[in-house]
Structure 1
């Protein structure tokens, strides 16, 4: 038997093997080994095989992710074993991010519904909002815009943090906005959070905000082509934005001043395209936020620092 044949003799497509496993702990260890063997890429909620396997198994058997260690000794029934194996097969064979398989991702300590119509939430905006945009925000915002909202996670987190604010969730994708509406209902903020289909600011004429949180697509063409398959499973419209990743960011910077109240703030996430943004706009006094929990690439500009349209 060749090494390749031996590899597949013990993989997820051999049902008899996983049926001999019994406990949650057995399945976590097995899933971790299989994902390591098949070299899946981590980056959508975990950064290692053990954590990913733990999330996969606990989600598949409908147990909380913060379960006590005693749970590892509980036995799975046959239907649960089959579900774990099916999820693992999709994770390995299809290279799908786990949140697309489970239908749920965590952001800012909260669960959000996700589908393949939206990015898996992972923005450092979660940390910024946990700090209530301090020290830059001088008073409670009454109106907030979440530009390129996707699942709605950033805007919903802002609505929960600033309990009196009215929030607009804006995206060009109707399918993404449908997911955002589900999350608004899930977190019971749909009475003061609304969704708006718009290409940038195009459908927002006459609206003005105290705070704009923008997480546009910002991956440059070269990085987009080189991304692991797990990222290729996400909507390309939400990732790439031209050769240098800044096509939409340029439009937002050119127009944002007209949609901010005096003293309002624009927070713009551009990730690895931060250097390209500074090169493209040397005249703008970007303040780059320091992020204690990791991540980078969020620039802050006050309304008065933005170019006039």
Structure 2
């Protein structure tokens, strides 16, 4: 593909058109930061050419050198042939205005909780300065812990994950943001290594894909760590443990926020007596729930 195309593609506009055609022809799946073939093609081209990610238009008719064209075509070919998500090709993922290093040791950041942290979880947290201890459970790349550190400037944050490989990525991101003094990384199977610790706020984006959906995942998702996705037959194995154990790790006025994917109906059926508060996000009000400590089941 590269040699034949390289001789005929001369501008960024040419490369963009070619990439979109190749992505559509291959039937790629987009769910890791881009929603369409056009958006993903534009991102990969701009990133590869070290151009501003928000300024495609001024460069569309700029000619590219042979070496630049070859680099872009190689990225396009890897995306098409190997179905590698764009974030793994560029080692970069974005949540709002924050970028994070990622590779195949961690799930690619995508969380509605990130949106909620932009407002400091108002109105549920009336005085953000009073949040002094917080936990990001199943931290992965550390992205939500870093967003928490920016939202709650007086908080010390524990970022826990079962995977030492994921924590190595989280450590790089924490260091990149200069937050080593405020974010502590903990290797822990959920709460197992956090005995005796209590928090004003616990957030978690745990594994929540059910067994049936795991069997049908697009190939792009197969590049992500399986243990960051799969959570038993109904997708609620991790969430059940969190609900069972969270009460002992929250302060008296503490709150728990958990993202659960498309499992709202199953969760409410499993816990008919819990008063879940479903938080409004850009995707709707069925993906993230909130419970205050007093609303959690006692062990």
Same fold (TM over 0.5): yes
**Could you say which residue in structure 2 is the equivalent of 1:85?**
73
Q: Provide the secondary structure at the position in 2 that maps to 1:248.
A: helix
Matches within 5 A, 1:25-174: 25-67=13-55, 69-140=57-128, 141-174=131-164
Structure 2 unaligned blocks of 5 or more:
none
C-alpha distance after superposition, 1:192-220 (max 9, x if no partner):
11110000100001211100001110010
1:17 maps to what in 2? Answer: 5
Aligned CA RMSD, in angstroms, stands at 1.3
User: Match of 1:271, SS?
Assistant: coil
2:179 counterpart of 1:189: yes
Check whether the contact 2:6–2:66 (CA below 8 A) recurs between aligned residues. Answer: no
SS across alignment from 1:231: helix
Distance 1:258 1:135, change over 3 A: same
TM-score (normalizing by structure 1)? 0.93
Number of aligned residue pairs: give it: 297
* Cα displacement (A) at 1:69: 1.6
- Assess if the C-alpha contact under 8 Å between 1:172 and 1:197 holds in 2: yes
Q: Distance in 2 between matches of 1:232 and 1:147?
A: 23
- Per mean C-alpha deviation after superposition, the further-off stretch among 78-87 and 37-46 is 78-87
Q: Is the 8 Å Cα contact of residues 28 and 54 (structure 1) preserved in structure 2?
A: yes
8 Å CA contact 2:214, 2:230 repeated in 1: yes
Deviation at 1:127, TM superposition (A): 1.0
Partner Cα separation in structure 1 for residue 134 and residue 63 of structure 2: 47
Per the alignment, residue 207 of structure 2 pairs with 217
Q: CA deviation at 1:68?
A: 5.2
Runs of 4+ in 1 over 3 A off after TM superposition: 292-296
**Per-residue CA shift, 1:92-123, capped at 9, x if unaligned?**
11111100011001112211100111111111
Cα 1:27–1:128 change in 2 (3 A) is same
How high is the TM-score relative to the length of structure 2?
0.96
The secondary structure found in structure 2 opposite 1:223 is helix
Tell me, in whole angstroms, the C-alpha distance in 2 between the residues paired with 1:233 and 1:58. 23
Q: Kindly indicate whether the alpha-carbon contact (under 8 Å) linking 1:124 and 1:296 is maintained by their aligned counterparts in 2.
A: no
